[in-house]
Amino acid sequence: MTDFLLIYCIVCLIFAAGLGLIPAFIAKEKGYSFGLWWFYGWMLFIVAIIHILLIPDKNAPVQPVPPPRKAPPVGAADEIGKFKALLDSGVITQEEFDQKKKQLLGL
C-alpha cells in the first residue's frame, strides 16, 4: 500500500510540474521569467494561470500619449470681435464698445 501511495504522489508531482509549464510559457511570451512562473504554476496552477493572463505584456509596444492641445491664444482682434457682437446684439452701448476697444488696443 505504501508503494502505491509513493507512486501516486510522484505521478501527481510530475503532473503538477507539467501543468506549471502552461503559465511559464505564457509568461515567457509576455517577457517574464520562465523559471519563476514555472515554479509558481507548479505550486499554485489555478492562481498562476489567472494571474499571468491578467498582467500586462512587457513586450507590447508603448504608444506615446499625445501632448494636450493648447487653446489658441486670444488676441485683441478676437476680443474686439466678441465685443462687436455684443454691440450688434444691443447688450453693450457704443460708448462701452469704444472704451473696451481703446483698452484692448492700448490707446
Residues 6 and 49 in one domain: yes
Contact residues for 72 (Cβ-Cβ < 8 A; gap 6+): none
Report the number of distinct structural domains present in the chain. 2
The answer to the question of residue 67 being in a domain is no
The answer to the question of residue 60 being in a domain is no
What's the pTM value of the predicted model, to 2 decimals? 0.55
- Domain extent, residue 99, equals 76-105
Tens-binned pLDDT, residue by residue, of the chain (107 aa): 788 899 999 999 999 999 999 999 999 999 999 999 999 999 998 999 999 999 999 888 888 888 888 766 677 788 888 888 998 998 888 999 999 888 888 76
How far is 40 from 43, CA to CA, in rounded Å?
A: 5
Residues 50 and 87 in one domain: no
Contact residues for 93 (Cβ-Cβ < 8 A; gap 6+): 87
- What is residue 60's three-state secondary structure? coil
Q: Is the dihedral of CA 86, 88, 92, 94 positive or negative?
A: positive
Residues 50 and 94 in one domain: no
How many beta carbons lie within 10 A of that of residue 23, not counting itself? 27
